[in-house]
Amino acid sequence: MTTPHDAFIAGLPKAELHLHIEGSLEPGQMFAFARRNRVDIPFADVEAVRAAYDFSNLQDFLDIYYAGAEVLRTEEDFRDLTTAYFDRAAADNVRHAEIFFDPQTHTDRGIPFGVVVEGLLAGMAEAEARHGVTARLILCFLRHLDEAAAFATLAEAEPWYHRIAAVGLDSSEVGHPPAKFARVFQAASVHGLKRVAHAGEEGPPDYVREALDLLHIDRLDHGNRALEDKTLVTRLARQAMTLTVCPLSNHKLCVVDDLARHPIRAMLDHGLRATINSDDPAYFGGYVNDNFRAVAPLLDRAQLVTLARNSFLGSFLDDAAVTRHLEAIDAYAAGAA
Ligand code: HPA
Ligand SMILES: [Zn+2]
């Protein structure tokens, strides 16, 4: 589908703040990694993989996403996965990305933490050299696992604390409230790491409140269900809390039943600092510009500019870099036909 905003979106400088690098594993790459690592995968071909990507909730997706990650074995795999994501992101004029990784998905299969993180860092360095796109890493804890496992992962990460911007929280939300990880997040903050968490994707507004009060998050991932609670919306707006919203993910996981009724417009109207992101682009049908286009019919050009500005304002870049990116957006918007 094309929209009147397509060309404007394509050229708009933007940051991506909600991207699971394991979720950028395209079906073709899955086969290539399976072949070179001699790993069996339960699919005959790429079409069979795509046909399996029909989800009715978050857990349906997670089951297949963790299975897909089995093909990732070596530092080279993690590096190649990362450079491929950044090649696509750069083509969407993403100038900066803060990417999630799920170490426990790999260390629980016997892949050393260092193999994962060194591969990702090599890919990020290569992307910066190739495209000038800057990058940060966010270590996510799997919330369906216990607090002790998260503490063990935080300890394993110690040699790389200076290379990791933040900790995050992902995987199965309902039944695994933020409170379960309050002590781990506190420990991470002592080591100078920032904090983000998925909340309010499937979980209730109270999980968003816990993420604020108990995890002291710097950014809220998804946050859709916060809209059910007026007091919470007012608080998020007053705090200028960044929400990393993922339209195609919301639709694929049935968080939103119709993209034409996606709440992005309501979020902006409430004064929330919303951003647009791709979450798991290989599984949800599109990269960041596809996500912008999915909600563009609901928005005017000034709102698209606000979304792009918000992505840098909500990033972990320093003030001088944020200012440079905001000036680039304003120059682009002023010059666009
Ligand atoms: O959208 C998501 N939600 C929770 N966990 C995840 N892990 C990858 N993507 C997601
Ligand atoms: Zn996510």
Binding residues for Zn(2+): 18, 20, 198, 279
Q: Are strands 194-199 and 219-222 parallel, antiparallel or unpaired?
A: parallel
Alpha carbon distance 169, 106 (integer Å): 16
22 lines ligand 1 (CB under 6 A): no
- Tell me what pLDDT residue 308 has: 98
Q: Which ligand is nearest to the CA of 250?
A: 1
Binding residues for substrate: 280
Nearby residues for ligand 2 (ion, Cβ within 5 Å): 279
Q: What would the 3-class secondary structure string for 207-263 be?
A: HHHHHHHCCCCCEEEECHHHHHCHHHHHHHHHCCCEEEECHHHHHHCCCCCCHHHCC
Q: Say how many Å lie between the CA of residue 171 and the centre of ligand 2.
A: 8
Q: Is the pLDDT of residue 151 over 90?
A: yes
Q: Is the pLDDT of residue 19 over 80?
A: yes
The residue type found at 292 is F
Question: Are 281 and 23 in contact, with CB atoms under 8 Å apart?
Answer: yes
Q: Say how many Å lie between the CA of residue 86 and the centre of ligand 1.
A: 20
Question: Are 71 and 37 in contact, with CB atoms under 8 Å apart?
Answer: yes
- Tell me what pLDDT residue 1 has: 67
Q: Is the pLDDT of residue 11 over 70?
A: yes
- Residue 201 falls in the annotated catalytic set: yes
Tell me how many degrees the CA angle 146-24-180 measures, rounded to the nearest 5: 15
In the CATH scheme, what is the homologous superfamily, with its name and number, of domain 6-335?
Metal-dependent hydrolases (3.20.20.140)
Share above pLDDT 90 across residues of the chain, in percent, rounded to a whole number = 98
Q: What is the mean pLDDT of the chain?
A: 97
Which residue's C-alpha comes closest to atom 7 of ligand 1?
171
Return the domain boundaries, the chain: 6-335
Share above pLDDT 70 across residues of the chain, in percent, rounded to a whole number = 100
- Tell me what pLDDT residue 2 has: 75
Q: Say how many Å lie between the CA of residue 19 and the centre of ligand 2.
A: 7
249 lines ligand 1 (CB under 6 A): yes
Read off the pLDDT of residues 62-118 as tens digits, 9 standing for 90 and up.
Answer: 999 999 999 999 999 999 999 999 999 999 999 999 999 999 999 999 999 999 999
Is the pTM for the entire model greater than 0.90? yes
- Which of 16, 22, 75, 201 is flagged as catalytic? 201
Read off the pLDDT of residues 301-319 as tens digits, 9 standing for 90 and up.
Answer: 999 999 999 999 999 999 9
Q: Is the pLDDT of residue 240 over 90?
A: yes
0.90 surpassed by complex ipTM: yes
Q: Is the pLDDT of residue 145 over 70?
A: yes
Strand order in the sheet with 273-276: 14-20, 94-101, 134-142, 166-170, 194-199, 219-222, 242-245, 273-276
